[in-house]
């Protein structure tokens, strides 16, 4: 989502406009096997950030730049052990570094909110009425007074205790104070609300008593085209943690369409209908710092050799690489990256070029499709004999005119990351019971 996990509702039906209609049409969460969510990439025509005049190269370069911000955010989160002040919950997200948006339908009757999908934080929040010191947004603020399901949480509630906050009396409201890496801030009250989705059968599906933050102040670099944030990490108050236990299976999966395709939609499926089927590989998974962590054993370059990967990595104790849908390119330790660059260089005869921003260390001059065919397939071999073979379009990105770079950068002092460009056209499933991650090659435009 940031993955992540990741999202924006895949809905075929119209909004429920009255409480009576909701009561007549909805099913309870426990009665539904699964539901799907459409991922709205920020460059999609469905996104308010869509720029019709931007070329594929413009979008690619912007995504690489945002990826560097996202990697730094993850590194800061992993490295931060106990540095949070007792009254603050601090996210290292830069508000404009996101890749995906999701539409939330909050309250009774449901109110539509276009939110940033952040795989590195937990809280679900929106600007609320009255919000005299909130950043200006084009969409209306959420008005909790118009929702019959809105309930403010007391400070001594378990959901409130999941967030760091100021000491308070047991009967007082649960307040939160979040800071972001670029100095942006939000202040609000934690409540519970109903979230409405659509089941795989097409009927509305309501999840009740979901922790939801109502901002009374917000400031900084948040865009006026967004109205909130959906935390998709694995903390107690994240969207994933709160809805998955209510379904028939503690499982979710996603399928990311190639970034060159702005007409097709990516999708996330929660529940048993999202189980990865067919020819798949599965690797053990752990959770650290609200991120999903895998163990990468080696990287194999077709026509060259393999690059071993150390079993440990900066800031991680149970694995050596984070899988993240909110980061575009991959990040590897310097020694592993250096060896990978050597192996790829051995089999690619194209003239070398340079990434003018110095993010990616290996680039080539590519003048057409025949040159793309000279780039190798690269396999990431994870624990459990889970080999994921990636095509050149999943391992190389256009950085400048006729310049294509290996989509891998130095992780520096931060943890390695398996990013979303490598996950294009893969059905990626997360089994939270085992726990494990499965991969299967598919055409995500037809998923």
Contact 331, 359 (CB under 8 A): no
- Taken in order 122, 203, 434, 284, is the CA torsion positive or negative? negative
Nearest to 389 by CA among 378, 398, 375: 378
What's the rounded Cα separation, in Å, for the pair 117 and 38?
12
What's the rounded Cα separation, in Å, for the pair 416 and 173?
39
* Encoded tokens for 38: 């459409």
Rounded to a whole number, what is the largest CA-CA distance in the chain? 70
* Encoded tokens for 166: 């100021």
Helices (H) then strands (E): counts for the chain: 7, 30
Our CA angle for 218, 324, 220, nearest 5°, is 15
Give residue for tokens 């378990």.
158
Which one of 43, 118, 122, 410 is the catalytic residue? Answer: 118
Known catalytic membership, residue 324: yes
Q: Could you tell me which residues are beta bridge partners of residue 306?
A: 300
Residue 392: enclosing H or E segment and its boundaries?
Answer: helix 392-395
Which one of 122, 324, 355, 410 is the catalytic residue? Answer: 324
Give residue for tokens 């702005």.
262
Is 31 strand, coil or helix?
Answer: helix
The burial of 60, by beta-carbon neighbours within 10 Å (0-12 exposed, 13-18 middle, 19 or more buried), is given as buried
User: How many residues make up the chain in this entry?
Assistant: 447
* Encoded tokens for 163: 């967030």
Cα dist from 404 to 145, 357, 409, whole Å: 53, 13, 14
φ and ψ at residue 133, rounded to 5 degrees: -120, 35
What's the rounded Cα separation, in Å, for the pair 271 and 266?
17
Q: Which residues are catalytic?
A: 118, 324
């Amino acid at each position: 989502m940031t993955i992540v996990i990741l999202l924006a509702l895949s809905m075929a039906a119209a909004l429920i406009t009255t409480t009576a209609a909701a009561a007549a049409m909805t099913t309870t969460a426990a009665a539904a096997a699964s539901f799907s969510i459409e991922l709205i990439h920020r460059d999609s025509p469905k996104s308010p950030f869509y720029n019709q005049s931007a070329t594929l190269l413009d979008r690619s370069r912007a995504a690489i730049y945002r990826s560097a911000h996202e990697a730094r955010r993850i590194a800061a989160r992993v490295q931060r052990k106990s540095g949070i002040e007792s009254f603050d919950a601090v996210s290292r997200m830069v508000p404009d570094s996101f890749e995906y948006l999701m539409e939330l339908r909050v309250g009774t009757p449901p109110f539509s909110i276009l939110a940033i999908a952040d795989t590195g934080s937990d809280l679900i929040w929106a600007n609320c009425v009255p919000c005299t010191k909130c950043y200006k947004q084009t969409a209306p603020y959420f008005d909790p007074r118009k929702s019959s399901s809105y309930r403010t949480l007391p400070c001594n509630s378990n959901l409130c205790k999941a967030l760091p906050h100021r000491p308070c009396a047991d009967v007082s409201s649960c307040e939160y104070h979040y800071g972001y890496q670029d100095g942006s801030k939000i202040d609000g009250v934690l409540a519970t609300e109903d979230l409405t989705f659509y089941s795989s059968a097409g009927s509305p599906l309501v999840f009740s008593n979901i922790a939801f933050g109502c901002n009374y102040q917000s400031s900084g670099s948040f865009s006026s085209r967004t109205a909130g944030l959906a935390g998709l990490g694995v903390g107690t108050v994240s969207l994933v943690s709160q809805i998955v236990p209510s379904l028939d299976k503690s499982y979710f999966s996603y399928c990311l369409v190639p970034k060159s395709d702005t007409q097709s939609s990516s999708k996330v499926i929660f529940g048993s209908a999202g189980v990865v089927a067919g020819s798949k590989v599965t690797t053990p998974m752990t959770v650290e710092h609200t991120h999903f962590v895998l163990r990468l054993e080696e990287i194999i370059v077709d026509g060259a050799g393999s690059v071993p990967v150390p079993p440990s990595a900066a800031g991680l104790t149970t694995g050596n690489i984070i899988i993240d849908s909110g980061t575009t390119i991959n990040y590897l330790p310097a020694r592993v990256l250096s060896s990978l660059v050597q192996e790829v260089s051995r089999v690619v005869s194209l003239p070398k070029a340079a990434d003018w921003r110095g993010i990616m260390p290996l680039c080539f001059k590519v003048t057409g499709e025949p040159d793309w065919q000279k780039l190798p397939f690269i396999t990431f071999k994870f624990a459990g004999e889970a080999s994921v073979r990636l095509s050149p379009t999943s391992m190389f990105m256009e950085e400048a005119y006729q310049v294509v770079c290996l989509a891998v950068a130095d992780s520096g002092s931060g943890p390695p990351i398996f990013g979303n460009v490598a996950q294009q056209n893969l059905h990626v499933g997360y089994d939270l019971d085992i726990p494990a991650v499965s991969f299967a090659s598919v055409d995500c435009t037809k998923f």
